[in-house]
Amino acid sequence: MYDLVIKNAKLINDSVTDIAIYLGKIVKIDKNITEQSQRVLDLHAKHYVSAGWIDSHTHCFARSPIYHDEPDLIGVKSGVASVVDAGSVGALDIDEFYQLAQQANTNVYSFLNISKIGLIRQNELADMNDIDVALFDDKLTKYPNFIIGIKVRMSRSVVGENGILPLIKAKDMQKKSGLPLMIHVGNNPPELDEIADILTAGDIITHCFNGKPNQIFDKQNNLRDSIKRAIARGVILDIGHGGESFSFAVAERAKCLDIYPNTISSDIYSKNRLQGPVFSLANVMTKFICLGYSRQRIIDSVTINAAQILHLENKGKLEIGYDADLTIFDIKQTDISLMDSEGKVRQSHEQFVPLACIVAGKAENPALFEITEEGSKNGLRISN
Ligand SMILES: [Zn+2]
């Protein structure tokens, strides 16, 4: 007896299959699963299923005074099974964030800010005394399955007079744990060339398609040599759209040169969720449809690629033995206008529309099925 069988699920390659879930894991994938199940969800080969979407860059510590949101609003209610809070929280607040995160239906992870104060103000690295290595190490040890990475923000407004120093410190602090390090780039100094040359395989440059002075292209619109070398070393490119950090022009130039981000993420928090230009991870993914990316590449960027880069071993794939985190969605044929962080608009004829999100296959908890009005109209229902 399975906990849940999803019948006639359309995969991103348009093949159709059944998926059986038991004790929070995917246990069978087959054309026609006939064994008994507690619940059956028939998608009638109309709706898509992928591994649960993972948003590698969000802000969801509700008590942050500047970048705050609720994990489930940006998570399961938006089709996202796992969210990574990218440095809203430092060592001083991580205990409280952990407690809040445990109440969410969404999987919540933290990239711990190297500044112990986190984002309680914009310039968290202006005073090097706010980096407390002993306290930082203590929290990494305390929350090994919750803190899955390290965040350092390297732009002028954040580091003040400290230049590149916080990044040198972060690379040193990373050594003990080997966790991925995410680097925010924005306004210079420090210069992107100086930042990129310090990074090693697995480090993540977020806001990779920003249109600010510290963008990946030089004044002649050529890819900076430092970024070429970084990509060759295995440095990761992450979108981190946000209110200020995604430019269609940069993304289009990158596409022409066959430069793709490894992960598509939102940098979402309440303000850019409600007022745009982010709105949701699905909305950010839709922007890559109008950039000419394949559906497969977009889905990989929020599933398998994200899971590998974040070292989430049992996530990101629809395969037997993997966690039963699934996103059910439509690719709706419709004309929509999409705006980047610089107010530039592009048109798309297709849109990712999340319908439901399943986390750890907990089919017995209806709250885990967040079916939008859209989905209800399409007749998406869970039957016993
Ligand atoms: Zn951010």
What average pLDDT does the segment 119-141 reach?
A: 94
Looking at per-residue pLDDT, the higher value among 41 and 365 belongs to 41
Residue 72 C-alpha to ligand 1 middle, in angstroms?
A: 18
In a shared domain, residues 32 and 104: no
Asked if residue 372 has pLDDT above 90, the reply is no
Residue 54 C-alpha to ligand 1 middle, in angstroms?
A: 15
CA distances from 71 to 79, 83, 105, 191 (A): 12, 7, 8, 33
In a shared domain, residues 182 and 66: yes
Residue 172 sits in which domain range? 51-309
Classify the C-alpha dihedral 61-62-65-68 as positive or negative.
Answer: positive
What average pLDDT does the segment 103-113 reach?
A: 97
What average pLDDT does the segment 237-261 reach?
A: 98
In a shared domain, residues 21 and 103: no
CA distances from 302 to 52, 150, 171, 350 (A): 8, 19, 26, 18
- Contacts of residue 53, defined as CB under 8 A and 6 or more positions apart, other chains included, come to 79, 80, 81, 82, 281, 302, 303, 327, 354, 357
Distance, C-alpha 183 to centroid of its chain: 14
Within-domain flag for 320: no
What average pLDDT does the segment 332-341 reach?
A: 97
Residue 184 C-alpha to ligand 1 middle, in angstroms?
A: 7
Residue 142 C-alpha to ligand 1 middle, in angstroms?
A: 24
Residue 252 C-alpha to ligand 1 middle, in angstroms?
A: 22
CATH number of 16's domain:
2.30.40.10
Residue 159 C-alpha to ligand 1 middle, in angstroms?
A: 15
Describe the chain by its helix, strand, coil percentages, rounded to 5.
30, 25, 45
What average pLDDT does the segment 175-185 reach?
A: 97
What average pLDDT does the segment 314-318 reach?
A: 98
What average pLDDT does the segment 292-317 reach?
A: 98
Confidence of residue 213 (pLDDT cuts 50, 70, 90): confident
First to last CA, the chain: 13
Tokens (6 digits) for 353: 């529309």
Tell me phi and psi for residue 151, to 5 degrees.
-120, 135
Q: Cβ(255)–Cβ(217) under 8 Å?
A: no
What is residue 384's predicted lDDT score, i.e. its pLDDT? 35
CA distances from 198 to 55, 205, 226, 227, 318 (A): 25, 12, 10, 11, 36
Tally of structural domains, the chain: 2
- Contacts of residue 376, defined as CB under 8 A and 6 or more positions apart, other chains included, come to none
User: Rounded CA gap, 5 and 296, in Å?
Assistant: 24
CATH number of 285's domain:
3.20.20.140
Residue 43 C-alpha to ligand 1 middle, in angstroms?
A: 35
In a shared domain, residues 113 and 247: yes
Residue 282 C-alpha to ligand 1 middle, in angstroms?
A: 17
CA distances from 329 to 24, 147, 289 (A): 20, 29, 15
Asked if residue 94 has pLDDT above 60, the reply is yes
Rounded to two decimals, the pTM is 0.95
What average pLDDT does the segment 138-155 reach?
A: 97
What is residue 375's predicted lDDT score, i.e. its pLDDT? 46
Within-domain flag for 228: yes
Asked if residue 232 has pLDDT above 70, the reply is yes
Looking at per-residue pLDDT, the higher value among 278 and 64 belongs to 278
Confidence of residue 120 (pLDDT cuts 50, 70, 90): confident
Within a 10 A sphere around the Cβ of 66, how many other Cβ atoms? 13
In a shared domain, residues 288 and 165: yes
What is residue 379's predicted lDDT score, i.e. its pLDDT? 44
Residue 267 C-alpha to ligand 1 middle, in angstroms?
A: 5
Three-class secondary structure of residue 308 per DSSP: helix
pLDDT above 90: percentage of residues in the chain: 89
Within a 10 A sphere around the Cβ of 195, how many other Cβ atoms? 24
Q: Cβ(124)–Cβ(118) under 8 Å?
A: yes
Residue 347 C-alpha to ligand 1 middle, in angstroms?
A: 26
Tens digits of per-residue pLDDT, 69-85?
999 999 999 999 999 99
Q: Cβ(114)–Cβ(151) under 8 Å?
A: yes
Residue 88 C-alpha to ligand 1 middle, in angstroms?
A: 8
What is residue 383's predicted lDDT score, i.e. its pLDDT? 40
In a shared domain, residues 82 and 20: no
Residue 279 C-alpha to ligand 1 middle, in angstroms?
A: 14
Q: Cβ(281)–Cβ(27) under 8 Å?
A: no
User: Rounded CA gap, 189 and 216, in Å?
Assistant: 14
User: Could you give the angle at the alpha carbon of 19 between the alpha carbons of 23 and 79, nearest 5°?
Assistant: 80
Tens digits of per-residue pLDDT, 49-76?
999 999 999 999 999 988 999 999 999 9
Q: What is the rounded (10 degree) CA torsion for 66, 107, 316, 242?
A: -10
Residue 22 C-alpha to ligand 1 middle, in angstroms?
A: 35
Within-domain flag for 296: yes
Within-domain flag for 319: no
Q: Which residues pair with 331 in a beta bridge?
A: 352
Asked if residue 367 has pLDDT above 90, the reply is no
In a shared domain, residues 123 and 207: yes
In a shared domain, residues 45 and 57: no
In a shared domain, residues 55 and 164: yes
In a shared domain, residues 210 and 291: yes
Q: Which of 280, 309, 338 is the last residue of a domain?
A: 309
What is the chain's mean pLDDT, rounded? 93
CA nearest 187: which of 166, 159, 162, 165?
159
